[in-house]
Structure 1
Amino acid sequence: MITPVFILLISAALTCQASAQKVLVLLDDPLIRSTHSLYFSDLTSRGYDIFFKSASDRKLQLKDWDEWLYEKLIIFAPSATDFGGDIGEGTLLEFVDAGNDAVIVVDSNPSELMRSTVADIGIDLEPKGTLLTDHVDYVRSSSDGHSLIASEEFVASDAILGNFTDRSPILFKGTAASISPESTLGISILGAPETAFSHFPGKAVIENPLVANGHATLVAGVQARSGARVVVAGSVDMFSNAYFTLAGFETASGNKFSKAGNRAFCDEVTQWAFHQRGVLRVTNLHHSHAGKQEQPEWYRVTDDLQFGLDIHELAGGIWEPYRADDVQVEFVMLDPYVRADLQHNDQGHFHTAFKVPDVYGVYKFVINYCKPGYTPLDLAKRVSVRPFRHNEFERFLVAAYPYYMSVFSTMAAFFLFGFVFLYHK
């Protein structure tokens, strides 16, 4: 006999299985599946359903009509000159524009296909064949010479790095990238030390290093306007089992470390890329007259109003109250008439109060909150502001008291003059 409890358990299991997100991993070398098994096992442990495909597979399919077959994409194919099946360069951009996430990993010799794909999302790789080198922070006793770098230039964002709290150095061997200073979507997640530079190996003299003085980006992130996130890493080796398990190394500058932070770093950055962290949501957006709860459709000029909303952050699969002191609301009619900071109560509720401008028209409450590592909040709620009615104006204005006095004094003087003129002999 099938009990109701058994049915509930089966339903829960089917729901969890159906909610598991599919991840497509494109490889140009099948050995990566074994040499990078720890990275893939970490993804599997988080509930992702991973599908390994060759980048040149003729049966490769990313989209079936208007339905995407995978929610996430990981590319470990730096030398791929063409994708098989129906995947083209435009397909990958369409995949991201549809709100899907991707992790793209290249090396020091990326193909033109990978270079152009990365450039289309706002990340410029160094010329093909260049290798990031550092004569100060390279790892000693390594067969890679001065090209195995230990970097500690992390982005100052807990939303991206999450539980990577020990900040162990990241071992990196590959190519660098650069992000345009004018870019509002790109984030340098891991930078190179100030002494690192990019050049062509084998040249004895380096006259003009391509990237130097701390301007090199090793791992970059892009948060598209569609909400999708893309992470670009310039080293395939930094995801490998060898770097994940390397312990007890020393840099040329004399710093000694007990372990590398590659495994925790790559896991946390992938979580951010796959929207497991740094996601904000807004609920309970409301406004009303000061001291009241009812939300009106319009306000009168110079009214006192109060505005509030709840913001929560996704952390570890749980929505927790978001805490920040830099959230603002604007009261806009073509231009912002009011810009006010929102106060919070440490429980996710943000609020403020201000006076309606003495200009009537159609206004909007606008929340445009963009913080590196978090999903942007772009909200607008329209409300009307009307002028005073004819019977709502004050009968006596304090500022008009001198005019009132002048009128009454003139009347009194007239009667006094008339009395004196008529009755005085």
Structure 2
Amino acid sequence: LKGFGKKTQDNILAGIEKVKLYNTRRLYAEVATDARELLSSLENNKDVCRVSLAGSLRRSSETVKDIDIVASSNAAEKLAGYFAALPQVDTISAHGLTKVSVTLRTGINADLRIVEDAQFPHALLHFTGSKEHNTALRSRAKDIGLKINEYGLWRGAKNIICRNEEEIFAHLNLSYIPPELRENMGEIEAAEKGSIPVLVEEKDVRGLLHIHTNFSDGAESLEGMVEAARKMGMQYIGISDHSQSAQYAGGLKKEDIEKQHELIDRLNKKYAPFQIFKGVESDILPDGSLDYDDEILERFDFVIAAIHSNFNMPEKEMTRRITKSLQNRYTTMLAHPTGRLLLARESYAVNIMEIIDVAAQYGKALELNANPRRLDLDWRNCIHARKKGVKISINPDAHRASGLADISFGIKIARKGWLEKKDCLNCLSAGEMKKYLSRKK
């Protein structure tokens, strides 16, 4: 292109490719609602024996291309017609006895695979994927004299009956592999050794950190957020409004902090034994320092360090900036460590492995931001953080009471990142959290 240098042209081409990718995928949270509605309709159909989500939704991928469902039935023709006629369906692109493909009114594509009940576990395993996981399973089966595909499991001409996925894995001399882990990233080797982790569950979460209120850019009062967390059965909440440099978000000045802390003291008495921790989401300034001096920082129970500006720094400078913030004695954890916005903004240039190593060295936690547009730390990096012994805090980054429910999306990604209860900071009880935060000062 005349007037454009090679670097500019390369950047434009890369941007076009990203837009193409973004246009073919949706956020997990966007698709999950439609998927649940379809699944519920099928579960209530008397012609369905068994039914389950499959594909990337079942594997809890952060973005998905479409909805995959596997159902078993003795009345395939009736079930296919029922699915094609659901009120959510806009257009039908394929309508057979074994597969129905539709586009929903929301623009999302959905495929229903219909099989006989004896085939159900094999079809479910196959269509859950991932492709790489399935390839590894087929290779393993071949090595021990078996053959596996979406239709069944065989030793020679003998069909081996399996009632569920657990039995299929058992015949392959593997412990059960949860769907979230099926990415061919060591799960088969772990299952062979019997060392698949006991993955964290939503019921394990005891408290919620990274909560905004109307002291900064939150939509609700501090007490309103406390009451919402209590209704969820939480033992504690960590308030963390924006710091002073975040003028766009009404960042807290010194007098705002004093008012907020006085309110928290009153509410802690009112709602005891429920615990409200005094925190802040402090901007990491370009030089790596935090947004308040030590005299202010020491007043908080916890400090979440976060990048909110100067995203385009070179990798070495950005990495140095973040590692310096992690070396600050008052930093408790790093928020949304790579700064990505799914299908909207790429991560900033940063050596995330070095960040994880420094967090391990200085005993700092990393956030898994549960906002469905972030889901950052990425699950792949959660695996590395776990190996390094870095605690992960699954945080809703809530700006209103309804945002607290985003914790469920964070749990899904935590599971995909191989995290157990012991790996997750906010699975600590209120008493344990109080001890953890006090020793970090």
TM-score by length of 2: 0.24
Whose radius of gyration is greater, 1 or 2?
A: 1
**Counting strand residues as a fraction of each chain, which structure ranks higher?**
1
Superposition TM-score, scaled by structure 1 size:
0.25
User: Comparing both structures, which one devotes a greater share of its residues to helix?
Assistant: 2
